[in-house]
């Protein structure tokens, strides 16, 4: 009796794992069962991550100064879906294309990419990256990864590392050198005001930034920036400013709702 029961259990486990692998292999345009070039099937990995990763699109690599990555190395990071932990992956942030490239282990020699899904977030280093829709300074609607760096009743402040490709220039004559193509890194900041369902780019200019704030906060912010020598280009100073603004009383309109 015990022998038959043991055989039945082994058959059940084997059949169950085979079913999981077969179901995943039917998914179009996905190759997660043999993750990142590894030959061994990992059904448990497929179950956890199969719905949130995809093949990385081909990217043309050119002779360019700098890097499209925040950090060229893959960093072990926690992945969440709908704020629930999914597991750990090794992650590299491609800021040029606003993509999170992932590997299961550092030994993997090929790369997958997290899908563009607003329910996905990643604890990447000291920050949490979340796929978000925002409005840039040209009033264009964009999608990409933002990090929430200040959160309160009045405002939410976000950071975005941006990288753009700058085309090089050929030398005008033999007396000067060619200017090589390069990747330019720069920081952008975005904010969401209480009661407004959109995220807008924050201006680094004092006058314009103050005009972006609530009416009742403009004069207070102006004085705070002056008295505390706030540098609007520095992340830590902007956090200080918005943390302060979030200590102020909420507007009467909101409190009366």
CA-CA distance, 19 to 196, in Å (whole number)? 47
Q: What confidence score (pLDDT) does residue 249 get?
A: 80
Residue 104's closest CA among 27, 21, 25, 34?
34
Q: What confidence score (pLDDT) does residue 174 get?
A: 79
CA-CA distance, 1 to 236, in Å (whole number)? 69
Residues 6+ apart with CB under 8 A from 252: none
CB atoms within 10 A of CB 70: 18
Q: Can you read off the two tokens belonging to residue 177?
A: 């050198």
Q: Grade residue 60 by pLDDT with cuts at 50, 70 and 90.
A: low
Q: What confidence score (pLDDT) does residue 230 get?
A: 97
Q: Grade residue 197 by pLDDT with cuts at 50, 70 and 90.
A: very high
Q: What confidence score (pLDDT) does residue 150 get?
A: 97
Q: What confidence score (pLDDT) does residue 251 get?
A: 55
> Residues 47-61, buried b or exposed e (16+ Cβ, 10 A)?
ebbbbbbeebeeeee
Q: Grade residue 52 by pLDDT with cuts at 50, 70 and 90.
A: low
79 pLDDT above the threshold of 50: yes
Q: Grade residue 33 by pLDDT with cuts at 50, 70 and 90.
A: very low
Residue 98's closest CA among 169, 160, 35?
160
The pLDDT of 36-53, averaged and rounded, is 48
Radius of gyration of the CA atoms of the chain, in A: 24
The pLDDT of 32-37, averaged and rounded, is 40
Contact indicator for 108, 35 with CB cutoff of 8 Å: yes
108-112, 130-134, 196-200, 243-247: range with lowest mean pLDDT: 108-112
129 pLDDT above the threshold of 70: yes
Contact indicator for 191, 126 with CB cutoff of 8 Å: no
More confident residue, 132 or 253: 132
Q: What confidence score (pLDDT) does residue 25 get?
A: 40
Beta strands in 68-204 (DSSP E): 75-81, 84-94, 99-103, 112-114, 120-124, 127-135, 141-151, 155-166, 182-193, 200-201
The pLDDT of 150-161, averaged and rounded, is 96
Q: What confidence score (pLDDT) does residue 147 get?
A: 97
In sequence order, which ranges of the chain are alpha helices (DSSP H)?
2-25, 43-49, 206-212, 218-227, 235-245, 252-255
């Amino acid at each position: 009796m015990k022998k038959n029961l043991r055989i039945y259990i082994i058959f059940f486990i084997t059949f169950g794992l085979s079913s999981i692998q077969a179901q995943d292999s039917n998914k179009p345009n996905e190759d997660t069962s043999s993750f990142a070039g590894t030959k061994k099937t990992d059904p448990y990995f497929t179950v956890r991550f199969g719905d949130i990763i995809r093949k990385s699109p081909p990217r043309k690599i050119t002779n360019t100064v700098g890097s499209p990555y925040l950090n060229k190395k893959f960093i072990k990071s926690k992945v969440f879906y709908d704020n629930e932990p999914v597991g750990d992956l090794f992650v590299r942030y491609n800021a040029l294309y606003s993509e999170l490239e992932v590997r299961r282990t550092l030994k993997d020699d090929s790369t997958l990419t997290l899908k563009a899904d607003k329910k996905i977030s990643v604890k990447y280093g000291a920050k949490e990256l979340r796929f978000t829709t925002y409005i840039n300074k040209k009033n264009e609607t964009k999608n990409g990864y933002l990090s929430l760096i200040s959160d309160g009743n009045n405002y939410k402040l976000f950071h975005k590392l941006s990288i753009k490709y700058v085309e090089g220039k050929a030398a005008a004559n033999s007396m000067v050198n060619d200017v090589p193509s390069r990747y330019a890194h720069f920081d952008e900041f975005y904010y969401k005001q209480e009661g407004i369902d959109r995220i807008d780019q924050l201006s680094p200019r004092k006058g314009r930034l103050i005009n972006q704030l609530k009416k009742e906060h403009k004069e207070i912010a102006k004085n705070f920036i002056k008295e505390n020598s706030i540098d609007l280009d520095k992340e830590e100073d902007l956090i200080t400013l918005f943390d302060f603004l979030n200590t102020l009383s909420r507007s009467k309109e909101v409190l009366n709702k």
